[in-house]
Structure formats: C-alpha cells, structure tokens
Amino acid sequence: MPPVVHNFNAGPSILPKEVFQEASESILNFNGTGLSILEIGHRTSLFQEVMDEAISLVKELMQLDADREVLFLHGGASTQFFQVPMNLLNDNEIAAYTDTGVWSTKAIKEAKHYGHVEVVCSSKDDGFLHLPKGFTVPKTAKYLHITTNNTIYGTQWQDLSPFYKTGVPLVADMSSDILSRSLDFNQFDLIYAGAQKNVGAAGVTLVVVNKNILGKVDRAIPTMLDYRNHIANGSMLNTPPVFAVYLCMLTLRWLKKVGGVTAIEKINDQKASLLYQTIDALPVFKTRVAREDRSKMNVCFVIDDPNLEKEFLETCKREGMVGVKGHRSSGGFRVSLYNALPLQSVEAITNLMKDFAQKKA
C-alpha cells in the first residue's frame, strides 16, 4: 500500500483521485480506441469531443450567458498579464488595477507597456496582509483588473459586489479560487486562470471573455495573441495542450458530479472554518492576515516561536503532510484548500497541530 499523503501544495496541486485513474487509463487506451490520449490528432473528432465537453462544462458550471466565450490557451496566467491590455487598452487610455500581491504587481508591470495604469488601491505598504478597503475607479478607465485570491499572502476578496458597480469592464485573475465559490460570473468581462489549482493540470489557461469588449484597440495584435482568433478557431488556432485540456474536462466532470460550484463551496467553507478555528484556538500558531480578508483557498500562518518552525515542518513531513512550507517570499506555513482536497486532510493536519501545540505549550 502506498503511504497516506495529504497534499496541501499551492500549485500544481491536488486533483481528484478518479481523475488520475481515468487519465492514467487513457494514456494507454483512450476511449477504447487503442490509441493514447497523448497521440491522438487534435483535429480529430476524438479530441474535438473533449474540447467541446470541456467548454460546455465551464459554461454550465459558471452559468455563463451567450456573450461569454470560453477559451483554453497556452502560456499560463502570466501571459494573460500582457494579453489582456494588448487586446483591451490603447496607448493613450487608462486601465485601473488593484495592487494586492505579487501577481497583481506583475500584471501592473505588463499593462504599463500598453497604456496608462492607475493603481486605484494597494496594500503593499502593509506587506499585503490585508486588502485595501477604499478605491475610486476613473470613469474613463477601459477596465478594472483585480486578483480575487492571493496565494502567497493568504488574502481573498470576500465581497466582490463593489467591483460590479464601477461602470467599467471588470477583469479578474482567478487562478487560485476559480470555481471554488458561487459568483455571478457574468459580472466579469474577462476572467483568466491557470488550470493547475481547481481546473486541471499545469499547461493550459482558462479564459472566459465577453466578446463585446474585443476589437476596440487601434494596435495590430499578433495572430496568436488576439482573443478573437482563438474564439473563431474554437481554442484550436494551433495545436492545443491536448492532455492538459483533457484533464480539465475530467476535473470539470468531477465537479459537476459532486454537485457543482454551490456544493463544493459548502465543503470549502467547512475546510477553511476548521483550519482557521484551530489556528485561532492554539496560541502557538497565528495568522497575520486581517480576519475579514482571510482566504478560503490558501491559509497562511506562522508559529509563535520561530525556533519551532523547522520542527513543525519535519513533523508534517513525517506524517505525510506535503506542501505546508510557506512561499519563499513570506515564510511561515501555507495550507492550500483547493476543491479536490478532502475534508479528511484538513482534519488530519488540525489534529497534528493540536498535538504539536500541546507538546510545545
């Protein structure tokens, strides 16, 4: 029997066991064809069915309207940092950005190559340990960009309604919390997310775009970076990452099977509540994140006595707790609670934390 492992990695991260099972079988024999999923042609009906189902599942799970197009693209979310402004922002126009962590900072840097960027709010001066509470978006802004969840610092916008009321198109990097909670996804004009947390495996990026905001910039856009070309070609403008898209389809199938976004949100709330309650109840641990901004996907915390940090990590490793070490830029610990992580894993690490705290009290 393989050892019991609890996977808290921040990304690439845990996927459902049944996805691994079906994917592993398809590597040898995809749908009884005698061919591997790794060797089928992307222009064949075999893969077209995969792409069609993946797109259909996104539309269903997110309850998207007819104006929203679903794309599976190369390049990771980091490519979207510049692809978004390239498609939406002219040189003499303004884009509004919220600055809430490393990834939003990188997005801001890329956007400055294509137009004027106005940072409407930032928590940088406080180490990104809370989310800024006040902001004003210029009415002339072509769009407002937000990062819904910050993996490194453990913050998450819990109430997104203020962003819906700004009167400008809303763009969101949802890489680390997409499909984890119920939202009105039609309030967003462009959503992008690296797949490797809640959607599938690394290698493909999910983009949902309101087609009505495209085609309004003056610049010439390279063929591969123009969203309209990808829409027209059904995400197959060139060879797509076939296996990564297939894993997305399987993961989206699993999410629908367990009840969709509403059902998984309830489980995610349970997981986050249990972990935060445990941290708050044990004096040896603490989280530095503002309570109202705590992420339900990435729980970041520290230990009261820094000398115990190494010992705690060694204890986690010995007990099969993987991925608990915090990001290199922030230190401490991080426990990621993505959709596929079972509640039992959270129960296991909270029991370990209680036992560790009792021994060190």
Q: State the catalytic residues.
A: 103, 173, 197
Contact, 302 vs 285, CB < 8 A? yes
| Long-range Cβ contacts of 252-255 (<8 Å, 24+ apart) | 252/54, 252/57, 252/58, 252/61, 252/199, 252/200, 253/53, 253/57, 254/16, 254/18, 254/19, 254/340, 255/57, 255/61, 255/179, 255/339
Buried b vs exposed e over 38-58: b needs ≥16 C-beta within 10 Å?
eebebeeebbeebbebbbebb
What does the alpha-carbon distance between residue 61 and residue 256 come to, in Å, rounded to a whole number? Answer: 7
What does the alpha-carbon distance between residue 335 and residue 14 come to, in Å, rounded to a whole number? Answer: 12
What does the alpha-carbon distance between residue 85 and residue 303 come to, in Å, rounded to a whole number? Answer: 41
What does the alpha-carbon distance between residue 121 and residue 227 come to, in Å, rounded to a whole number? Answer: 28
The tokens for 47 are 């893969």
Contact, 146 vs 173, CB < 8 A? yes
DSSP-assigned letter for residue 64: -
What does the alpha-carbon distance between residue 319 and residue 353 come to, in Å, rounded to a whole number? Answer: 11
SS3 164: helix
Q: In angstroms, how far is CA 143 from the centroid of its own chain?
A: 20
